[in-house]
Amino acid sequence: MLICPYKEQVKGVIERFANEGVEYGRCVTVDGSQGQESNVVIFMFTKPRTAELTGLGFLSSYQRLNVAMTRAKKLMVAVVNMGIWNERFVAIAKSRNTRFLAGLLQHAVDKGDILRWEGPSTVHRPFESAAPPLN
C-alpha cells in the first residue's frame, strides 16, 4: 500500500506509475488508509512549503501521522526529503506540537536507517545530515 497525505498526490502517483508501467497494490490518502493494513506500506512525506508551522501542513498532525505510520504489518518505508530539514524547520518541529515528527526523523538518522538517493545508481547509507541533531 502506498499512502500519500493529499488527494492530489495520490492522483499524481497513480498517473506517474501508470505512465511508467509500475505495478503496485493500492495508493490511498491517510484518511483512506484508516482501518486498513498491509504487509508493506510506503508513506510519501510532503515537503514543507514555508518556515511557518502551517507550512508543515499534514506533518504537524500527530493523529494523522500516527494513522499513516501504523498501517504496516511487517515493513514501513517512509519517503522523506531530508534535505529540507534544515535548521529553520528543525527549530519549528522542536518548538511546536510536531515533536513526534522531529523525534521520528532523528531516530531514523541515529539508527542509520536512512538511505540516500541521488539517482538510479547512487544509494548511500547512512544519510549524513547537514542539519544539527533534533534533540
CATH value at residue 8: 3.40.50.300
What's the number of domains the chain is made of?
Answer: 1
The larger pLDDT score, comparing residue 99 to residue 47, is at 99
Domain enclosing residue 79, as ranges: 2-124
Q: Comparing 17 with 87, which gets the higher pLDDT?
A: 17
Considering the entire predicted model, what is its pTM? 0.74
Q: Which residue, chain included where needed, has cell 497494490?
A: 25
Write the CB contacts of 73 (distance below 8 Å, at least 6 apart in sequence). 37, 38, 39
For residue 29, which phi and psi values (nearest 5 degrees)? -80, 170
Contact 134, 94 (CB under 8 A): yes
Q: Tell which wins on pLDDT, 30 or 135.
A: 30
**Does a structural domain hold residue 23?**
yes
51 DSSP assignment: S
Mean pLDDT computed over 66-71:
92
* Cell numbers standing for residue 55: 507550512
Helix axes 62-69, 99-111, angle to 10 degrees: 40
User: Does residue 134 belong to any structural domain of this protein?
Assistant: no
Residue recorded with cell 492530489: 8
**Predicted confidence (pLDDT) at residue 71 exceeds the cutoff of 60:** yes
Is 132 part of any domain? no
Say if 22 falls within a structural domain. yes
56 domain residue, yes or no = yes
17 lies in some domain: yes
Mean pLDDT of 51-67: 70
